Amino acid sequence: MKRIQILGTGCPKCRLLMANVETAVKSAGVEAQIEKVEKIVDIMKFGVMSTPALVVDGVVKCVGKVLSPDDICALLQKE
């Protein structure tokens, strides 16, 4: 099971990334635990200074942009 975290304070881009992750996980048939990290202190622990950010299994994969569901699917299938 993958652990996917979306780092962001709740802005529209963060919410869109969350929706895209949910869509990608469903279409890829990947078993995943999806978590939203909104506290600035917790986000900074990842070394991320720009949101939204996508973290898969503890590794930051994308910072400062919203990946499409297709991009996220490709990223998850590479893992």
Catalytic residue among 14, 28, 73, 76: 14
Cβ-proximal residues to 40 (8 Å cutoff; 6+ apart), any chain: 9
Q: Is 62 a catalytic residue?
A: no
Peptide bond into 69 cis (omega under 30): no
Nearest in space to 28 (alpha carbons), one of 4, 51, 44: 4
Q: Is 73 a catalytic residue?
A: no
Catalytic residue among 3, 9, 10, 11: 11
The catalytic residues are: 11, 14
